[in-house]
Amino acid sequence: MRYAEAGYNLEIDLSRGNIERVETDPKLTELFLGGQGVNAKIIWDRVGPEVKPFDEGNLLIFGAGLLHGTPVIGCNRTSVNTINPMTGIFGHSTMGGFFGPEIKHAGYDRIIISGKAPKLVYLWIKNDKVEIRDASHLKGKTVRETTRLIKEELNEPFAQVACIGPAGENKVFTASLEHNWNSAARGPGPIMGDKMIKAIAVRGTKDINIAHPQELFELCLKMKKEMYESDGCGDWMAVDEDDSFHHNNFSWGNSRTRIKNYWSEELQKRWTNWKYDHMDRQMGCYNCPKGCINVISWPGHPRFGYKCYGKDTYHMAAFKELDYSYELLGYCQDYGLDSYSTPQTLALGIELYEAGILTDKDMPNFPTDSGDRIKYLVEKVVHREGIGDILANGSWHAARQIGNGAEAFEHNTVKKMEQLPIKLGKLNPAYYLMIATGEKMAITQIEGSFPQDPIRDLDERQKFVDRWDAVPSEIFKDIFMRWEKRNEMSVEDTCLVTDWNEAMHYVDDSTGLCGFVSSFRGQFGGKTAFSFNNVPQIISLATGMDMDKDKLWEICRRNRTLIRAINNRLGIRRVDDDPPKDHWAVRDPELEAKMLDGYYDLRGFTKDGIPTKEELYKQGLDYVADELIQRGILDPNEGTPSQEKAKLEDQKSGGC
């Protein structure tokens, strides 16, 4: 018997209609845990660089986290991985809710979808019974209708449904996959559309077994209460109505305009009333006591559930107030649109129109009001009509397709994907590295354990450090204690901070834990529910595996390296590790180069950002090294930047 795991993958080939239940290799769990970790291994093995995102060979993998279905609190995020058509690289995508745990209870650790269906279908998975069903009657249906119709026709109110809306069907690059009020952005939406799969409905009635039941259960019950009561858990933005942070610091429109004193007391009061006068509930995800999803019924418009900064993006793109987002969000969620990338692309469209690069020919009857303009473009993009067919590909691709100088207006992407609209003065070293090297395409999926800013007052700083629960080692306390100015941190410290931030997210992505109780919360100090100090023990209790901090760190490093190698194979190099030019007003190319070298040293990458043979062999990824060498991507003799420097100096001194 396998503990915490189901022990089987569900393989579905849509081209041939073939369905198989395949036993998994426990060794993979030891090496990559689960969730995104194992998904990445499968993509490395089976999706070579010859496979384009919209080829039949691209896979779409729904990976349940290693700890899904166990009593571990706040463990419910499903990793949905594929090659993302917008970036052309590994798509990092996760969603909360109930989907992963349900997959587990149906008897699978992941669903691996390949091929393309000849016509629109949906999957119905009830334990061992798996059907590919006709979905022609669901064509063009919204997320809400699709979910309701599927549950009704199956007569399964307890089924969990994940589906795409019209945007996904039309392969809009900024489309997301939706599950209740949860979404998986950055790839799965358009890939579902391309594979002609409208939805997946799952119901599971099987047991998940636990290695050390009593201990784990009692621990979790205690944690649930603590987490409910703690403000160190969950999304504080769901309860803190002071949202000056985003509105004063983030840029409006096409990540262009910063309004430093936008927020006011009067505004906060008005917006708070709008929210609480129309809020139905704050909903949680599977087995989590927090309510991070604000469910709002705005009169005359469809109900919606938003998380985090998702309520701001549309009105900030349109230079409007919160009520504008409230009007729009229900429709956009029903269409299945990602609220991060989409508004930025639409704002780019508006800018190009104002600049005369796009004209009335491209946008007939384009309204004059910025709010109406966004609405106009939403409709165009979702249905890929006219200019919408181009904007649907996201800012980077759209600007290049439009040409005629449009490229210069596209200024906020990394690796072809929109970033948070932040434009700052001086460089924050760790943020430079995270934005540059990150392949998760959203800083929120990389940052979070180490504070974003230093604490000026020494006593306060000491107090923070004394009560800082999440630190995996004393080194980070020292780094924080000597951090005086935001833009001044040694290269070495910067690399270590980046390493910790990244590692904790890799813990979440493989176990299924939510960042809001884990990787995103260490930065606030105090007690964080999950950290390197307790996750190893929890993994041991649930799975029976022998786990400690070092082993877990090693797994995270391996997962990170493997994803880098997948992306290297798809063409990613040092030159792509490049934040938006205007992210910071003051740049220091020399320091930035040093930081990149330092990071590559720490990760065991070559100067061009490719894992070295030595590093790959050390991590048991020898087959990865061999393939990279065979493909001429990796020079087997090349070491990390500092190793190469040492070699050079050795040669200079004549060597002896």
Partner 1 sequence: MAETVKKIVKTIKVDLDKCNGCRGCEMACSAYHATPKYSSMNPARSRIRVIMDPFNDEFVPIRATDYTKAGCDGRRVYTIRGKEYSECSFCGTICPTRDLFFDPDSGLPLKCDLCEDEKVPLCVQACPQGCLTYVELEEEVEEEVKTSEMELGLKSLVDKYGVRKLQDSFARIAKKG
Binding footprint of partner 1 on the chain (CB under 8 A)? 69-71, 73, 98, 105, 144, 147-148, 157-158, 180-181, 204-210, 213-214, 216-217, 221, 224-225, 228-229, 280-291, 295, 297, 303, 305
43 versus 238: smaller Cβ distance to partner 1 = 238
Amino acid letter, 174: T
Question: Shortest Cβ distance from residue 165 to partner 1 (Å)?
Answer: 13
115 versus 336: smaller Cβ distance to partner 1 = 336
Continuous H helices in 279-321: 313-317
> Which helix (H) or strand (E) segment is 110 a member of?
strand 110-114
> Would you give the end-to-end CA distance of the chain in angstroms?
58
86 versus 150: smaller Cβ distance to partner 1 = 150
Question: Shortest Cβ distance from residue 381 to partner 1 (Å)?
Answer: 23
| DSSP string over 322-349 | HHHHHHHHHHHHHHTB-TTHHHHHHHHH
Contacts of 611 (CB under 8 A, 6+ apart): 561, 564, 565, 568, 603, 604, 605, 621, 624, 625, 628, 634
Continuous H helices in 47-184: 99-105, 143-154, 166-169
219 versus 455: smaller Cβ distance to partner 1 = 219
> Which helix (H) or strand (E) segment is 185 a member of?
none
Calculate the alpha carbon distances from 494 to 109, 266, 501, 599 in Å. 36, 40, 11, 8
205 versus 257: smaller Cβ distance to partner 1 = 205
223 versus 374: smaller Cβ distance to partner 1 = 223
Question: Shortest Cβ distance from residue 199 to partner 1 (Å)?
Answer: 14
Question: Shortest Cβ distance from residue 102 to partner 1 (Å)?
Answer: 9
Question: Shortest Cβ distance from residue 519 to partner 1 (Å)?
Answer: 20
144 versus 505: smaller Cβ distance to partner 1 = 144
Amino acid letter, 261: N
* Residue corresponding to tokens 């549950």: 151
Question: Shortest Cβ distance from residue 378 to partner 1 (Å)?
Answer: 20
Chain center to CA of 655 = 48
Question: Shortest Cβ distance from residue 149 to partner 1 (Å)?
Answer: 12
Amino acid letter, 303: R
297 versus 487: smaller Cβ distance to partner 1 = 297
CA dihedral (378, 380, 382, 385) in degrees, to 10, reads -170
57 versus 544: smaller Cβ distance to partner 1 = 544
CA dihedral (169, 170, 176, 180) in degrees, to 10, reads -40
Give the C-alpha separation, 365 to 215, whole Å: 65
Question: Shortest Cβ distance from residue 357 to partner 1 (Å)?
Answer: 40
Q: Is 251 helix (H, G, I), strand (E, B) or coil?
A: strand
Question: Shortest Cβ distance from residue 64 to partner 1 (Å)?
Answer: 14
With CA atoms as reference, report the closest residue to 642 among 588, 578, 599: 599
Contacts of 20 (CB under 8 A, 6+ apart): 10, 11, 12
206 versus 594: smaller Cβ distance to partner 1 = 206
Question: Shortest Cβ distance from residue 147 to partner 1 (Å)?
Answer: 7
